[in-house]
Structure 1
Amino acid sequence: MWPVFRFPAFRAFFGIQFLGAFNDNLYKNALVILITFKLSQSEEQTGLLVTLAAGLFILPFLLFSPLAGQLADAYDKRWLIRKINLAEVGVMLLGAISLIQQSIELLLFTLFLMGTQSAFFGPIKYAFLPEILPEKQLIKGNALFSGSTFVAILLGTILGGLGVMPDDGVYLMGAAVIVVASLGYLASFAVGEVRPHPGYPEKIRFWGNTRSIFQQALRHREAFFAVLGISWFWFFGAVILSQIPTLVKYGLQADDQVVVWFLTLFSIGIALGSAGIAQLFKGQVHLRWHPLLLILMSTSLLMAVWLIHLHTPVGGNFALTTLSEFLSSTYGLALSVSFALMAFFGGAYIVPLYTLMQCKTPAEQRGQMIAVNNLINSALMVLSSLLLMFGFGVGLSLLAMLVILAVANILVIVLFKMGAN
């Protein structure tokens, strides 16, 4: 067991964030599968509703991150954690009703509320860690948070899709999201007693402080540089994760089991990379290896693209339709390894950046810095979707766009060179 688990507040907070990420994706994927296979009437309607759902979940991060950052610095984070987790219980009660009624409007409204709850929890997630862990343990705490988040996303995605499809699946999923939210709320009482807080030096405003928050973030050059590096990772990851189903169906002509396989590889790769870099750095934080990690990420992605290009079926005939058939071939194993390595190097890339952002931001401003991080992350994830739609619109193949992404990833090395000066 890693030393960070000796701290009771960390154990409780780790459980809260894992349950929250799991529950978000349990509900979100149950919603997507329900819309795709039961509620939508055409391919066009399905595509529109699924895209709308993705946008509604991200939108609150753009709308509420400035306010969430101010609140995270204005109040004791333990008190906020309890209130936000209590709100999640209420949102999931509405989510259970929406699943049972199978109302598209109510499902999407609940998803927006879930995104809102996550947007307010986001600044607390990484601002609270330095308050409950010694600085030398921060990189291990961040590694566990980053790796476990992707595992939670994977488990929620798989179980949400499988659980909602049986005849009584909506009742099962409705009960599940309420139970998980309630467990998170109970765990929130184990993060410690609420303490007096000095408060926030400025008036809390919904939008008015956005400009000052960015100006304040820019004053902490190293921390803001880390934010830019983190945001690029989420741009890169959003492209990869969003296109796995398309890549599997049309590039490999394989079934949904292979989609789950690649999602699993991505999540486990991120988790192992996060753990590996934390053990290697032994509490020290530096970015000297990040240019190499970017090159290795791009090399792994280009290798995967090359393998897919060489083995793309012609005329619709493709033997590797099931997971067992796919993994029985040398090609399938090689493609799996290249994809897993890309995720592994990505996990090693992201953990030191989160740690640097925390260490180089004053404690009284961490919530706002993380709010800036969430804003830029969300904006770049939306940009990734827009650029993908533009690419498809002008006739670029998905493999061509992935090659462009790999080249752009190497060019980000320039950012790290600038940050080192």
Structure 2
Amino acid sequence: MTQHSQFALLGTRRFLPFFITQLLGAFNDNVFKQGLIFVILFNMAFSDKTGNLLVNFCHMLFILPFFLFSALGGQFGEKFAKDALIRVIKLAEIIIMLVGAAGFFLNSLPLLLLALFGMGTHSALFGPVKYSILPATLREEELVGGNALVEMGTFLAILAGTIGAGVIMSGSHSAGIVSGAIVLVACLGYVASRNIPRSHAALPELVLDWNIFRQTWATVRLGLGQRPAVSRSLLGNSWFWFIGSIYLAQIPAFAKDLLHGDKTVITLILTVFSVGIALGSVLCERLSGRKVEIGLVPFGSMGMTIFGILLWWHSAGFPTAAEPYTWLTLLGQGQAWWLLADILGIGIFGGFYIVPLYALIQSRTVENERARVIAANNILNALFMVVSALVAMLLLNVAGLSIPQLFLVVSLMNIAVNAYIFKIVPEFTMRFLIWLLSHSMYRVRHEGLEAIPDEGAAVLVCNHVSFVDALLIGGAVRRPVRFVMYYKIYQLPVLNFIFRTAGTVPIAGRSEDEKTYEQAFQRIAQYLADGEVVCIFPEGKLTTSGEIDEFKAGVERILAANPVPVIPMALQGLWGSFFSRAPHKGLFKRFWSRITLVAGQPMPADTGRLVLQEQVAQLRGDVR
């Protein structure tokens, strides 16, 4: 199967118009919000205390609609065609921006605040349809790449809008320019939305509940009542926004008070952080092998913690100067490069953390609940952002922590929160260990894996070369795979955790333990009846010579009782690696082995074991 970059999606009509629409919306949000903040702080006769109070009020006013209207947005996203709904929302944005433009022209705070509340409402209604339309328009192998592009575009649009507003508002005739800009961008967003392809309603018979509070509670319950992997992903997603909100809120004071910088230093740090998120997001597709790889979530969590602690460590004793540092003079300080590297690292690993979570929520939620589950996610995100502001206020103003110490506390809290999530859903940790193995000790290449069906039961048969065969196959196949393996390998320390979490079936020889033997066939039959993929190693043991041993009759018993397609597979290049039984391999001999996993075409269930053995041998070839 030809592998295309995620950026190829930007050349398709099913993605590009939507991408431009959401990009322009995020950009417009931030141009307007930053423009409003500049007006409050510099164009209106408020004291510093009143101005700061109004700025914080603006942040709260923008978040409030997420509590009030996200549930309604989730219902809209299920009941109406998503493309038509987006166009209606974009038309509303034009009207809202016309109100905002009048506010800038008249220097009217009430009109500006009304428009700000309107933009918050617009975002609350757009969010559920924004993320629920992706699984409807993208193929499974494109979902991670599509989410990565959306996250990259969102953060870069936030950055561009923030900087653009600063440039506009610092010049002359700023009211006219910013008014024209926000209306023009809203119109361009509507034009782009006109080209979004048709996307049907998931649940057109849904009866709308206009009781905001009842439906909000019902929506949150729906989200948290999903299977553990989804519900805990919602919490993990909201925790990311908790951390992100604290970092973004403290960047101005951190740049001014700790780094002794001017406004350009604030812009520099925001740029580095946003570029980090964007870079981490686009790297996700490459690191995940074009599938939803939740093993990247623990990796991202660890990275955010490590770089958060380093940011605290490197912040100590930053040298002062007679005049505030500009972004250019700041780069003349060696310590600043360490700080910027830490901020970039937090952003990159934040991208590794958030993109797989969004993709998992989308892929594992049924279509007629997806928009409402994403609405629940938005409600939780807003709640966590409000709580993050309260926590920051308590730690900074009551506990008396410095901003770097706040970053340290948040990094340590990140360990505790994600330890809870990974304990409740051990699949995250299991997938991380598989991902780590297949991206560190081994270099794994895949051929023909598209032969494995996306849905329905199937049996995979493969040669058995090492103790980690199941991990390498599990990390390569998009679907969850239930492995059948010799019970003594199943019981190996550390690996046993992974095998149990993955639903592996331990099997013993009938003469060794007849009860375990019979229970294994019962579990295999249940998995296949449920439409799952089962992988067996018909040799029944690891090879001691590198050659394929004779397939045992158990595979024929499985296929006779469960007539499903059987797909031959072969591992090449694993013989002689650290976990194989090759003699004289030594501790580090072939530790960085180049492995290929090859799959053949599906075969009928009545295929004999010797024919399957021959097919596996042909797929493996001469490469042991």
Change (3 A) 1:203 1:175: closer
TM-superposed CA distance for 1:409, in Å, is 1.0
TM-superposed CA distance for 1:416, in Å, is 1.8
* DSSP 3-state at the match of 2:209: coil
TM-superposed CA distance for 1:27, in Å, is 0.7
Change (3 A) 1:196 1:296: closer
The number of aligned residues is 418
TM-superposed CA distance for 1:165, in Å, is 2.5
Task: Pick one of 423, 426, 431 that aligns with 1:420.
Answer: 426
Q: How far does the alpha carbon of each residue in 1:67-86 deviate from its partner, in whole angstroms, 9 at most, with x for none?
A: 11111101111110010000
Distance 2:68 2:45 in 1: 29
Distance 1:100 1:228 in 2: 42
RMSD (CA atoms): 1.6
Query: 1:327 maps to which residue?
Result: 331
Task: Pick one of 246, 262, 268 that aligns with 1:255.
Answer: 262
TM-superposed CA distance for 1:335, in Å, is 1.2
Task: Pick one of 123, 126, 138 that aligns with 1:121.
Answer: 126
Q: Which deviates more, 176-185 or 332-341? A: 332-341
Confirm whether residue 69 of structure 1 aligns to residue 74 of structure 2. Answer: yes
- Paired residues of 2:101 and 2:180 also in contact (CA < 8 A): yes
TM-superposed CA distance for 1:411, in Å, is 1.5
Q: Partner amino acid for 1:10?
A: F
Query: 2:615 maps to which residue?
Result: none
Task: Pick one of 251, 264, 276 that aligns with 1:269.
Answer: 276
Where does 1:99-178 land on structure 2 (aligned, <5 Å)? Answer: 99-178=104-183
Confirm whether residue 39 of structure 1 aligns to residue 15 of structure 2. Answer: no
Change (3 A) 1:318 1:289: farther
* DSSP 3-state at the match of 2:222: helix
Task: Pick one of 14, 35, 44 that aligns with 1:30.
Answer: 35
TM-superposed CA distance for 1:215, in Å, is 3.1
Distance 1:150 1:322 in 2: 24
Distance 1:373 1:162 in 2: 34
Confirm whether residue 290 of structure 1 aligns to residue 297 of structure 2. Answer: yes
Q: Partner amino acid for 1:190?
A: N
> For the pair shown, which has the larger CA radius of gyration, 1 or 2?
2
Larger strand proportion, structure 1 or 2?
Answer: 2
Structure 1: gaps spanning 5 or more residues = none
Larger helix proportion, structure 1 or 2?
Answer: 1
Query: 1:404 maps to which residue?
Result: 409
Structure 2: gaps spanning 5 or more residues = 428-624
Where does 1:211-230 land on structure 2 (aligned, <5 Å)? Answer: 211-217=217-223, 218-230=225-237
TM-superposed CA distance for 1:178, in Å, is 0.6
Which has the bigger relative contact order, CA under 8 A and spacing at least 6? Answer: 1
Q: Which deviates more, 96-105 or 196-205? A: 196-205
Where does 1:301-312 land on structure 2 (aligned, <5 Å)? Answer: 301-311=308-318
- Paired residues of 1:9 and 1:191 also in contact (CA < 8 A): yes
Q: Partner amino acid for 1:274?
A: S
Change (3 A) 1:182 1:126: same
TM-superposed CA distance for 1:280, in Å, is 1.6
- Paired residues of 1:320 and 1:326 also in contact (CA < 8 A): no
Q: Which deviates more, 190-199 or 177-186? A: 190-199
Q: Partner amino acid for 1:210?
A: T
* DSSP 3-state at the match of 2:425: helix
TM-superposed CA distance for 1:274, in Å, is 0.4
Q: How far does the alpha carbon of each residue in 1:331-352 deviate from its partner, in whole angstroms, 9 at most, with x for none?
A: 1112111111111110111100
Distance 1:196 1:117 in 2: 20
Where does 1:374-389 land on structure 2 (aligned, <5 Å)? Answer: 374-389=378-393
Change (3 A) 1:417 1:326: same
Distance 1:320 1:36 in 2: 21
Where does 1:199-238 land on structure 2 (aligned, <5 Å)? Answer: 199-207=204-212, 208-217=214-223, 218-238=225-245
- Paired residues of 1:290 and 1:416 also in contact (CA < 8 A): no
TM-superposed CA distance for 1:202, in Å, is 3.9
Instruction: Give the TM-score taking structure 1 as reference length.
Output: 0.95
Percent identity among equivalent residues? 36
Confirm whether residue 88 of structure 1 aligns to residue 106 of structure 2. Answer: no
- Paired residues of 1:4 and 1:133 also in contact (CA < 8 A): no
Change (3 A) 1:168 1:294: same
